[in-house]
Amino acid sequence: MSAIAATKPARRRRAIPWLVALLIIVLIIGGAGFWLASAASAAINAVGALTVYRPAAFIAHDGCNYQPAVTGAIVTPGDSIRTDDKGRASITLPDGTLTRLAGGTEITLTSAHFAKDGNLHDANFFQKVGRTFVNVQHLVSGASFKVQGQAATASVRGTKFEVLVTGKGCVAAPSPSPGGKPPLADGSMLVKLFEGELDLDGKNHVHLTSGQQATADPQGNVGNPGPIQPDPDDPFGAENEASDASNQGTTPGTEQVFVGNPIHNGETQTYSYSFAGGGIIKAALAWPGSQLQLKVKAPDGQTYTGDGDSPIVVVVNNAPAGIYTILVIGVSGLGAAGETPYLSVSALEQCVSADIDQNGAVRRGLTSEDLGKNIDVSGLSNLDLTIFGNSLAGAIVTGSGTYNGVSWTGTVVVFRHGGLLQIIAVQATVFGVAIPPEQTISQIGSVIGQDPNNINLGFQVDRLFTCNGVILIDGRTVG
């Protein structure tokens, strides 16, 4: 939805040293002449951030040499992610494109690049085995997103779809269905399309529209599309219902999801969500069946309770600032194996300049004007900074100006992983001559005294997104 109009909240002005240094180095010092002797670099690799909802998940930087992975790990082109039968994880790209992994899944980010304007130019995954759900943000003209299986390739634009590949990965095949019989022959690929359009290419080409699925056999023969069929082994149906419910009427980019361990009768699982006030909190809980209860405890001590069929939705209006405690309670009918709860929490936030620390919750709202006011460099003139539009999981900042008579331009992407930030320079020019962005990154590190891949803001960053040209950084104090 569009951002709400609101009066700017009261705030305390603080220095933003990491952004000041970023802009001075990438967008200004880059015009210092010694770059002119450098050749332009190749396309800049895009990276992803790993979230582990439920262990175990593993990462391999070279083939099948998997090591345990944790939330916040950076996934670079060539890296593979694997979940065991109980593991659940996701990979988020800087534009907000999300790939969720079910248990027993193995996938490789084979390539990903930024365009010179900071948008995602291309991303390609190879899914060895297992089940994924992908929500691709709308790609700019000429960009592409592909998932390749053993027998076929799915190509999409701005689409929600699911891929199931049967067979064996580096370690083992996923567990069979409860009936003991795998749904497809090894090497087959099943694609379900929930929104948008999709091309599925093997030995032949099939075009899917919303609500359709198609299967490629191990030889790459793609069958005719048909309506999506119910699948009791598919965990993503209920999860999508919860996400859709919490996202309705809230600010894109505020969603956080939690996948719990199987819950049993009488058990309680606890999660938390930071919110600096000025809007609403909306929590949605989904699960396969039986009866659960959802409770949201606000920082002011009030508790809001929801019951009923999946998904349960609880809304806190005029939500006070602070850390919210969210309880998922098993009530009855859950059985000996329990059931996996999926929780989605979102908020309605004011997309305005802000500098708030209240009750443990933090919000930084940065406009182009805020960035410009924090730069005071002798010899700098004609400064023009722009924060681009809307993004679910990052920010694109471009700048231009003159430094001691030298004209320059630059583009950077700011990206969250774990509770930290990463700065990626994707384009810079001096007198119209391209310079290698990777060289500017080393200069950033030397000035700010931190690794540009792991910037610590002094608080845990829970969410970073762009809302109508405002960078919103939400988090919580630690310690």
More confident residue, 450 or 273: 273
- The H or E element spanning position 438 is helix 437-448
Residues 228/300, Cβ–Cβ less than 8 Å = no
| Paired strand residues for 319 | 279
pLDDT digits (tens, 9 = 90+) for 54-108: 999 999 998 889 999 999 999 999 999 999 999 999 999 999 999 999 999 999 9
CATH class belonging to 237-350: mainly beta
Mean pLDDT value of segment 233-249: 92
Q: What is the pLDDT of residue 430?
A: 73
By CB atoms closer than 10 A (0-12, 13-18, 19+), residue 401 is: buried
457 pLDDT band (50/70/90 cuts)? confident
Mean pLDDT of 432-440: 63
pTM: 0.88
Comparing 45-49, 244-248, 329-333, 406-410, which segment has the lowest mean pLDDT? 406-410
Residue 179's pLDDT band (boundaries 50, 70, 90)? Answer: very low
Q: Is 381 exposed, middle or buried (0-12, 13-18, 19+ CB in 10 A)?
A: exposed
What's the mean pLDDT in 13-24?
46
Two structure tokens written together for 139: 């790609």
The dihedrals phi and psi of 440, each to the nearest 5 degrees, come to -65, -30
Per-residue pLDDT averaged across 42-57, rounded? 90
Which pLDDT does position 450 carry in this prediction? 64
Tell me whether the CATH fold assigned to 48-92+103-234 matches the one assigned to 237-350.
Answer: yes
8 A C-beta contact, residue 421 and residue 461? yes
* pLDDT on residue 38: 42
Domain 48-92+103-234 indexed as CATH 3.30.70.600? no
pLDDT at 243 > cutoff 90: yes
pLDDT at position 24 over 60: no
- Distance of alpha carbon 244 from alpha carbon 266, whole angstroms: 28
Q: Can you read off the two tokens belonging to residue 346?
A: 């979102």
What pLDDT, on a 0 to 100 scale, did the predictor assign at position 122?
A: 93
- pLDDT tens track for 364-381: 998 888 877 766 667 778
**Which of 60-74, 132-146, 170-184, 265-279 is least confident?**
170-184
Q: How do residues 130-165 score in pLDDT, each as one tens digit?
A: 999 999 987 777 789 999 998 899 999 879 999 999
pLDDT value, residue 377: 66
432 vs 1 pLDDT, higher one: 432
Residues 55-58: contacts with CB within 8 Å, 24+ apart?
Answer: 55/86, 55/87, 56/83, 56/84, 56/86, 56/87, 57/81, 57/82, 57/83, 57/84, 57/87, 57/88, 57/89, 57/101, 58/82, 58/83, 58/84
**Spatial distance between the Cα atoms of 157 and 136, rounded to a whole number of angstroms:** 7
Query: Stretch 250-269: mean pLDDT, rounded?
Result: 95
Residue 213 has pLDDT above 70, yes or no: yes
Which range has the worst mean pLDDT, 39-43, 259-263, 402-406? 39-43
Task: Show me where the domains of the chain are located.
Answer: 17-42+362-476, 48-92+103-234, 237-350
| Length of the chain, in residues | 479
Confidence label for 39 from pLDDT (cuts 50, 70 and 90): very low
Q: Which pLDDT band, with edges at 50, 70 and 90, does 425 fall under?
A: confident
Mean per-residue pLDDT of the chain:
85
Of 159, 161, 167, give the one whose Cα is nearest residue 189.
167
Mean pLDDT on 176-201:
78
Provide the pLDDT for residue 31: 42
Cα 432 from Cα 409, distance rounded (Å): 8
Taking only the tens place, the pLDDT of each residue in 312-325 is: 999 999 999 999 99
Q: How many whole angstroms separate alpha carbon 253 and alpha carbon 55?
A: 25
pLDDT of residue 183: 61
Q: Detail the DSSP E strand segments found in 136-236.
A: 144-148, 153-156, 160-165, 189-195, 197-201, 205-209, 212-216, 226-227
> Phi-psi region for residue 95, left (φ > 0), alpha (ψ -120 to 50) or beta?
alpha
